Homo-oligomer: A and B are copies of this chain.
Amino acid sequence: MSAPPALSRRKFRRRAEARPDEVLDAALDLFIRFGFAATRVEDIARRAGLSKGAVYLYYPSKQAIMQALIERAVVPIAARAEELGRNEGDDPRRTLAAIVRMLGGGVADPRIAAIPKIIIGEAGNFPELAESYRRKVIERGLGALTAVLRRGVETGHFRALDPELAVRNVVGPLLAHLLLAQVFGLRPAGDPATAGDGGAEDDEGAAMSRFLDSHLDILLNGLLATAPDGSDDRPDDASGGRPR
């Protein structure tokens, strides 16, 4: 992402400190395409431009690569969620919307969206993986959201709901959106989503944007057509506008 200070010797870089990250890049590419189990360490090595043995100089096991991948790709998201959630002064509605949109950004990035599916799949085989993900991602991210919900209930911005239950309504739709696409290739109609590589990322982004609008609108305002007088006097809508 951030360019290294000296690119001039890139071709000749020996003992590059970038190696671990290159391994991670390669691994992620392959995990996304073939899954964790079906990806061989040798493939990762080849794609990273080194030998099988060399991979083990950087990571002690295939599992550790996955671990590092989580750390690199997903933990920052949880951290960002925590950070956004700490803006205690803010209107909780706005905070919630901000976090959801941020998470949506992650879901829209294929390099991030692939992770949860892999975790779910490998949780049985590699309990430590699941455990670490739970501790570092789920609990922090969900904790931040739960806290915002709790605060909103306390401030009267949200109705009196159990935040621990309500948080499932916050992340669930994102999860559903992600898994429908990742596992079953299902995307909302009018959303070509171009399986190809060069894919129209704008489309993907636009589709996600539409979905986030819809999600936040439903989450905050509900599905029901409210009584004619009731709907208008909601003060300021944090959701960023109703979908057309």
Contacts and interface: CB of A to CB of B under 8 A. Distances in A.
B229 A229 contact: yes
A54 interface: no
A168 B159 contact: no
Contacts of A230: 226-227, 229-231, 233-234
Interface stretch (A21-29, A59-67, A81-89, A184-192): A184-192
Interface residues of A, number: 71
A189 B142 CA distance: 13
Nearest to A114: B124
Contacts of A124: 33-35, 37-38, 121
Given A219-B218, A219-B222, A223-B161, A184 B243 contact: no
Interface in A119-164: 119-125, 130, 133-134, 138, 142, 149, 152, 156-162, 164
Nearest to A207: B165
Contacts of A168: 173, 176-177, 180, 211, 215
SS of A interface (majority)? helix
A218 B38 contact: no
A143 to B, nearest CB: 11
A34 B126 CA distance: 10
Nearest to A121: B121
A44 to B, nearest CB: 15
Nearest to A188: B164
A234 B227 contact: yes
A221 B222 contact: yes
Contacts of A220: 222-224
A18 interface: no
A99 interface: no
Contacts of A37: 37, 124-125
A138 B188 contact: no
A220 to B, nearest CB: 5
A179 interface: yes
A117 interface: yes
Contact of A161 (B123, B164, B214, B227): B214
- Chain B CB within 10 Å — which of A37, A93, A177, A222 has the most? A222
